[in-house]
Amino acid sequence: MKNLEEKIDAVRHFNRFFTRQIGVLREGLLHSPFSLTEVRILFELAHHDHLTASDLSREMGLDPGYLSRILARFEEKGLIEKVRSETDARQRLLSLTSQGKQVFSLLDRRSREEVAEMLSSLSEGDQERLLEAMKTIEDVLACGRGFKFSEPFFLRPPEPGDMGWVVHRHGVLYAREYGWNERFEALVAQIVADYMRRHDPVKERCWIAEMNGENVGCVFVMKDSDTVARLRLLLIEPKARGFGLGNRLVEECIRFARRCGYKKLVLWTNDVLKAARHIYQKHGFKLVKEEKHHSFGQDLVGETWELSL
């Protein structure tokens, strides 16, 4: 029986063999100027109506910025068009143009021809063995726990309306779970307003987490000084807890702060926020200051945490 390292090597060997066999590593897939990712996007648009960029990003696991650049190229080439949604004016629905449908039709035909050619070189028995093996792989992986980097949520930059959602959900959840009054919602509104008015796109960032088409989390990195960044407004909806979303959001903040050249990442929280405090501890933040205060209608202990980058 193979040990774990041998099993890993075997899976990676198969991956290399199969990607080479079906030609996805070529610069242009199916003898076209398009990459595998671009062909996949065309496929999704050809087979689904009323897709938005957020839908594509979520379904395909693509970085929103990367996807946006591809869609911009497609639009420039006349392959897709964007139409404002009748039910939500903030959304742009994507669809293939007539030219886009022609391009996809050609790629689809070439793909079928390549597969037909591969199958025709095999005996009937080998074709059945191949199909059965493929079904086995699909069934085993579909029933498994999935991959470490396959998550039920995805992170994206804020869109119109998201900042209002951040304020609203902080107000609702903190009142429901901790009994905090409207003064906390006012504080969140002030932080969000400051971010929007003075946002530095190079040194500051906001992430919105989506799951099944709904906003389920957020976090901000804001500039304190040239060397110090502040983590703010970490929020996870109850339905999204238990999936590692809080850890992922904090990890993104730390990576971003390091890329920006900050020396320290700081945050202010309260001792009653035990789940958040556990996440901060897990990622190396140190508690450097505690102070009792009466805020938001409650007696609290405020805490300052720091992480040296």
User: How much is the pLDDT for 86?
Assistant: 73
In this prediction, residue 244 carries a pLDDT of 84
Q: Which of 92, 116, 143 is the last residue of a domain?
A: 143
Q: pLDDT tens digit string along 169-195?
A: 999 999 999 999 999 999 999 999 999
Report H helices in the chain.
4-22, 36-47, 53-60, 64-76, 98-120, 124-143, 162-178, 182-198, 245-259, 274-282
The per-residue pLDDT string of the chain (309 residues; one tens digit each, 9 = 90 and over) reads: 778 888 888 878 777 777 666 654 454 556 678 887 888 899 889 988 778 888 888 777 777 778 888 999 999 999 999 988 776 667 788 999 999 999 999 988 888 888 888 888 889 998 889 888 888 887 777 655 455 445 678 888 899 999 999 999 999 999 999 999 999 999 999 999 999 999 998 899 999 998 877 899 999 999 999 999 999 999 999 988 888 899 999 999 999 999 999 999 999 999 999 999 999 999 999 999 999 999 999 999 999 999 999
End-to-end CA distance of the chain: 44
Indicate if 220 and 115 belong to the same structural domain.
no
Residue 256's domain spans which residues? 154-308
Task: Supply the CATH number for residue 195's domain.
Answer: 3.40.630.30
Is residue 148 included in any domain, yes or no? no
Q: How many CA atoms lie within 13 A of 233 on its CB side?
A: 32
pLDDT value of position 269: 96
pTM passes above 0.85: no
Same domain flag for 277 and 178: yes
Domain total for the chain?
2
User: Residue 72: what pLDDT?
Assistant: 92
Q: Give me the pLDDT at residue 215, please.
A: 92
Rg of the chain over all Cα atoms, to the nearest angstrom? 24
- Output the pLDDT for position 25: 45
Instruction: Looking at the structure, tell me whether residues 134 and 161 fall in a common domain.
Output: no
Residue ending a domain, among 143, 174, 192, is: 143
Encoded amino acid at 12, one letter: R
CA 167 – CA 183 distance, rounded (Å) = 12
- The confidence score (pLDDT) of residue 174 equals 96
pLDDT tens readout for residues 38-85: 888 998 899 887 788 888 887 777 777 788 889 999 999 999 999 887
Of 143, 170, 201, the last residue of a domain is: 143
137 shares its domain with 175: no
